[in-house]
Amino acid sequence: METEALREWLDGRTARHEFSGVALIWREGKPTFTYSGGLAHRGHGVPITDDTRFAVASVTKLVTATTALRLVDRGLVRLDQPLIEILPTEHQPAGLTAEHTLHHLLSHTSGLTNYHDDEDQTWASFTSCWDRIPTYHLRRPADMLPLFKDLPAVFPPGSRYQYADANFILAGLVIETITGNAFGDVIAEEVLRPAGMIDTAIESLDREPARLATGYLAHGDDGPPASWRANYFSVPMVGMPDGGMITTAHDLARLIDALLAGSLLSPAMCKAMMSPQGPASDAVEQYGYGCEVVVEGGNVTIIGHGGSDPGVSTMVAHHLDAATTIVVLSNYDRGSWAVTKHIAESLGLTEPRA
């Protein structure tokens, strides 16, 4: 790979405000290429560096699922255990039945209604949630329940796959119920510390987390970059089980290494996490347990997860045959996928996703 050509390409995107963030290529436990560009804070002119921390939206689901599966490995809960046996009544959505299990939550096959419209190509549906509950009141998973608790299910559990953030809010509540501890504390104990993710945590934005890049809403804004709004009032104040964890590119590469090395899960559980868990499908993009998988010729070739929030665009992609992890974190809500795909092509790796 021509690293200077890649760096020049990234410099060009950064100069055109098409990217702001960090890009990492990781092999054999260490970085082989790093790039950082753009501003972590526009008002103070703080540049992004390799150790800048980012909120990573749905990439958080990798950690939530790993935590839940560790509890399964230890026999504290079963994947096929009915959720009504676990969750207290006040945490059970109206659409929950005796058939719903942890498997359905982690695989997005529950059929439970999401708290926002995933089909909305703008941020309107997502940010309208905070008209109902101000972001500064959202500090623990249970605080999100009023957004979807009274809604009916949209299809029977297990009948099809449909991505819904609400599934992972409930998975976080399962984790809290089983352990008796706060979600952020449990993931730190179960995953972050064992994986060596020293710069990762669930933190409150109004306590100004160290080295955190401020997110900027670029998507749908045709104005100059200086006019793009910060995302202070567009995301929950504290990271949730479905998104919002604060981390670095290096820490996310360490997470993938720890999973593949068998440091976090049993071999059988790790395989299940990284295998399609929905109904049989010939789709290239499928879902395991909190893990996006690319399937080619019947084989899983790429694992990881993407994330998108107002002011957040992130991607983690591990190419199994090449033993190579690509991590791209941006504090714009666009741009990470184009960078991820270009890096894969520069490495000569197959990336069949559009």
Supply the DSSP symbol for 53: B
Name the region of 304 (left: φ>0; alpha: ψ -120 to 50; beta: rest).
left
SS3 58: helix
The secondary structure of 46-59 as a DSSP string is EEP-TT-BEE-GGG
Q: Are 47 and 40 in contact (CB under 8 A)?
A: yes
DSSP 214-268: PPEE-TT--S-GGGPEESTTTS-SB-BTTB--EE-HHHHHHHHHHHHTTSSS-HH
Contact between 97 and 281 under an 8 Å Cβ cutoff? The reply is no
By residue count, the chain amounts to 354
Both tokens assigned to 348: 């000569």
Q: How far is CA 63 from CA 175, 228, 310, in A?
A: 12, 30, 21
Annotated catalytic residue, options 58, 107, 110, 336: 58
**Cα 213 versus chain centre, distance:** 17
Question: Environment class of residue 43 by beta-carbon count within 10 Å: exposed (0-12), middle (13-18) or buried (19+)?
Answer: exposed
* DSSP result, 7-23: HHHHHHHHHTTS--EEE
> Does the annotation count 58 as an active-site position?
yes
Active site residues: 58
